[in-house]
Structure 1
């Protein structure tokens, strides 16, 4: 499974998600993994783009097959430096390869999920060839696919956060100060005054007989001797990996930025579907915006 290639990389992403995150964390063989995801994404988006353009003509299907992968890859190229610099500013230790691989996982999931919806889109194209409905249907499919892909992106960032890659490298804690050993119990007075051996081997008699030490009184309700000499234990601190770093917050801002750039670029690269009342054209004039067109289409259906 780890050596899956081509289109089968999506199976590894879905079945061995933790293995993918671990490979990104270890920065292990990422160029190969990224290349596999790039190939699978381009092929899947090209097939789905051909379905979109087939509403108009064969020529539009061919151009949409090329423009849809271009749309996603160009959006990635525009927004990836922002994500990488966001991480650097706030001390994250992700390399550019790790950032690219992480985003490519989301893009691959999006592309493959859109490809899975292609038969449904083709079914409605054949049975209900209404331009407004077909356009809204496929916009909803792409939006749903993108949301699932971005969910993978946030999940991967959370795993990297758990491994401490989204936070600055913590300074090594100073060696704790030596704790003095607990004071030994005081020897009984009798032992302290025990007779010592003389130089000629004879034991010297004590000058005064020591008084017998009083028997200790049993006090089970008191703390045991020496307890006060034990150092206090510090309360366990929350691991730094469980704290939410600024990089996670900025990730959600970057996702919004990615969405705005992608929709505006899609409007610039249109047509993808091809209006049936207009001749084929590679590009349209830039007027209006994506969101105004969606609202206009919804109004036409109502």
Structure 2
């Protein structure tokens, strides 16, 4: 298992060795180092892409966006992490806090590096197409696309962890059933006497052997009035995390992220306005997005 790779190469391992990555998270081996590598990779990638976003307005906006874009992703993670962890506890998942953080950081890292891969395309349109509305809408689409791909990694990793937990639950249930099986047939005299056909019993001992000196082995049946043994079920604390709740959490993550991005704006810098580190909290991200599309369509 390649745990000693450079932080800048961690994305290559995520893309090439997904099974090994999920296994490392399941076994909780070297997660602190892995999370640190992904954190560094994500911060650098998002900072570079943020600088491209702000370059539309000048170097001050580029520097501001280079700081605020990584802050946006990491702050959204910090806000939504407790919710996902509690969802895991509600449905009896065995994920630790570190496993949960590592799993989410996989998605953030994939998203961040993909945005960095789109940076040359964004820079090209910044230079060749002098349209603020088009540039802003283009980069919003890039961020949505890369976030979608990153979240696909999150759902794939959670499914892998769920499968592992189901396997453990099945193995433990089988072990419990095997341990309980020898205790299921403990009727002494009555069962053996009924099987012999004479119904006779002796105080403390069974005399069936005297009636069957050469008879073949008799298959012992449970009496009709005795309830069948109940098959053991997996313990409630070992149920896998509900994927439905994960999808709900992803929607929550998206809403928190977009609103936090609106709070931290500007990232692009509007033409004709002076530089501002933050703006007043008015309107919503979705309202501004509709307005931008309207301006672009109107020419």
Report TM bin, short chain. Answer: 0.7 to 0.9
Kept in 2: contact 1:93–1:168 (CA 8 A): no
Matches within 5 A, 1:1-302: 1-164=2-165, 172-173=176-177, 175-176=180-181, 177=183, 245=240, 247-302=242-297
Q: What's the CA shift string for 1:215-238, capped at 9, x where partnerless?
A: xxxxxxxxxx9898799xx9x999
Counterpart-to-counterpart distance in 2, 1:44 and 1:154: 22
Kept in 2: contact 1:87–1:166 (CA 8 A): no
Kept in 2: contact 1:93–1:166 (CA 8 A): no
Kept in 2: contact 1:92–1:168 (CA 8 A): no
Size of the aligned set, in residue pairs, is: 265
- Structure showing greater radius of gyration is 1
TM-score (norm 2): 0.79
The alpha carbon displacement at 1:3 in A equals 1.8
Kept in 2: contact 1:38–1:108 (CA 8 A): yes
Kept in 2: contact 1:91–1:168 (CA 8 A): no
Q: Which residue of 2 aligns with 1:220?
A: none
Cα distance 1:108–1:60, how it changes in 2: closer, same or farther (>3 A)?
same
TM-score (norm 1): 0.78
Q: What's the CA shift string for 1:264-301, capped at 9, x where partnerless?
A: 00000000000111111101111000000000000011
Gaps of 5+ in 2: 187-191, 197-212, 223-228
The alpha carbon displacement at 1:247 in A equals 2.7
Structure that is richer in helix per residue: 2
Gaps of 5+ in 1: 185-190, 193-224
Kept in 2: contact 1:121–1:138 (CA 8 A): yes
Indicate the RMSD between aligned Cα atoms, in angstroms.
3.4
Q: Could you list the runs of 4 or more consecutive aligned residues of structure 1 that deviate by over 6 angstroms after TM superposition?
A: 165-171, 225-231, 236-240
